């Protein structure tokens, strides 16, 4: 079982023939992802990486039955790419692009709210179902099929969490990198809820960072509705107030969005909070009663 993507997902790459799209599409194909083609306007009818190139997402849906899209399109055009995918009927849209203007994302998020789709990102590492489907830029070799789901704002900390789990013998179901921008499609609570409702996910790692209220919102939801152990970590424990650290969404605006405040709330809601990502694996073993 998995959430969002699996071995049967029919994936297209928007920005297929560009350098980034080409490189990561090849990695996805080698992992075993069912990449059915890609979209590059003006190059429809050609083939690339032994897959068909389409002029539009609509054409890819009609001819290749695509239901998942990953976007490697420059920032100025990425919001339009998101809306095009949603309009064409794509169910899961993963946007890797970083640096999309906030105003553009406000328009795109409003537009897709009327469509039957889910957006992951932007500015994210994507979604990965272990040993089944890679839709993003996560390194596949660190993943091992198992029962732990991961939700993370940070790409590199996603990889660290996966590696920590694999090292202690705990594999993964699906890892969801939600992205670090101020405006994203799927938030922490929504991603946690997907994994909480997945029958083959027995526990969850939730990685957040300073800024905003997403982790606190997720923690309160977990306290009320959670049925599985959750191990949590917050990045940015030494960040000074008012300074953005890395992600555009990581800026502390008040007392409640510091790392210390989020960690306190998470603990109060029954989450197993770790001070360092290096402790994720062993803490998960303890939370599952296997240490």
Residue range 11-120, CATH number: 3.40.50.720
End-to-end CA distance of the chain: 25
pLDDT tens-place string over residues 178-236: 998 999 999 999 999 999 999 999 999 999 998 889 999 999 999 999 999 999 999 97
User: Could you tell me the CATH superfamily of domain 126-287?
Assistant: Succinyl-CoA synthetase domains (3.40.50.261)
Q: What is the pLDDT of residue 250?
A: 47
Instruction: Average the pLDDT over 280-291 and give the result.
Output: 96
- State pLDDT tens for residues 82-95: 999 999 999 999 99
Torsions phi, psi for 199 (to 5 deg)? -65, -20
Measured at the CA of 91, the angle between CA 204 and CA 133, to 5 degrees, comes to 55
Question: Exactly one of 24, 48, 247, 272 is catalytic; which is it?
Answer: 247
Q: Is residue 100 scored above 50 in pLDDT?
A: yes
Which among 266, 80, 93 has a CA at the least distance from the CA of 188?
266
Instruction: Give residue-wise pLDDT tens across range 167-178.
Output: 999 999 999 999
The mean of the pLDDT values for the chain is 94
Residue 169's nearest CA partner among 1, 284, 2, 31 is: 284
Identify the helix (H) or strand (E) that includes residue 190.
Answer: helix 188-196
Measured CA to CA, the distance from residue 279 to residue 259 in angstroms comes to: 17
CB neighbour burial string for 140-161, b if at least 16 within 10 angstroms, e if fewer: bebbbebbbbbbbbbbebbbbb
Is 48 marked active-site?
no
Give percent of the chain above pLDDT 70: 93
Domains 11-120 and 126-287 share a fold: yes
CA 6 remoteness from chain centre: 14
**Averaged over 152-176, what is the pLDDT?**
95
Give per-residue pLDDT as tens, 106-145.
Answer: 999 999 999 999 999 999 999 999 999 999 999 999 999 9
Domain limits of the chain? 11-120, 126-287
- 10: left (phi > 0), else alpha (psi -120 to 50), else beta? beta
Nearest 10 degrees: Cα torsion 79, 83, 89, 90 = 10
Q: Are 284 and 203 in contact (CB under 8 A)?
A: yes
Q: Is the pLDDT of residue 243 over 60?
A: no
Q: Provide mean pLDDT across the span 69-80.
A: 98
3-state helix, strand, coil in the chain (%, to 5): 35, 20, 40
Residue whose entry in the numeric block shows the structure tokens 């999309």: 100
pLDDT at 154: 87
**Whether the predicted pLDDT of 164 surpasses 50:** yes
CA–CA distances in Å: residue 34 to residues 9, 12, 21, 108, 145: 6, 9, 15, 27, 18
Cis peptide before 122 (omega within 30 of 0): yes
Please report, for residues 50, 151, 171, 201, the alpha-carbon distance to residue 138 in angstroms, rounded to integers and kept in the order given. Answer: 23, 13, 15, 20
């Amino acid at each position: 079982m998995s959430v969002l993507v699996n071995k049967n997902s029919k994936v297209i790459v928007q920005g297929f023939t560009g350098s980034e799209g080409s490189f990561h599409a090849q990695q996805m194909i080698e992992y075993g992802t069912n990449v059915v083609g890609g979209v590059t306007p003006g190059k429809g009818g050609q083939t690339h990486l032994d897959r068909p190139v389409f002029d539009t997402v609509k054409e890819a849906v009609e001819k290749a039955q695509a239901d998942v899209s990953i976007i490697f399109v420059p920032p100025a055009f990425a919001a339009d790419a998101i809306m095009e995918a949603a309009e064409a009927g794509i169910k899961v849209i993963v946007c890797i692009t970083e640096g999309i203007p906030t105003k553009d994302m406000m328009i795109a998020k409003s537009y897709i709210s009327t469509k039957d789709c889910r957006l992951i990102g932007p500015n994210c590492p994507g979604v990965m179902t272990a040993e089944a489907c890679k839709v993003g830029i996560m390194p596949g070799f660190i993943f091992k099929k198992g029962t732990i789901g991961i939700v993370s704002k940070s790409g590199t900390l996603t990889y660290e969490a996966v590696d920590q789990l694999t090292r202690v013998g705990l594999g993964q179901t699906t890892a969801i990198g939600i992205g670090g921008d101020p405006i994203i499609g799927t938030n922490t609570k929504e991603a946690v809820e997907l994994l909480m409702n997945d029958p083959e996910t027995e526990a969850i790692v939730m990685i957040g960072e300073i800024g905003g209220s997403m982790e606190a919102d997720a923690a309160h939801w977990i306290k009320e509705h959670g049925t599985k152990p959750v191990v949590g970590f917050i990045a940015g424990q030494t960040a000074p107030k008012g300074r953005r650290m890395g992600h555009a969404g990581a800026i502390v605006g008040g007392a409640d969005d510091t790392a210390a405040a989020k960690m306190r709330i998470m603990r109060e809601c029954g989450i197993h909070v770790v001070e360092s990502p290096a402790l994720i694996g062993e803490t998960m073993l303890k939370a599952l009663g296997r240490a």
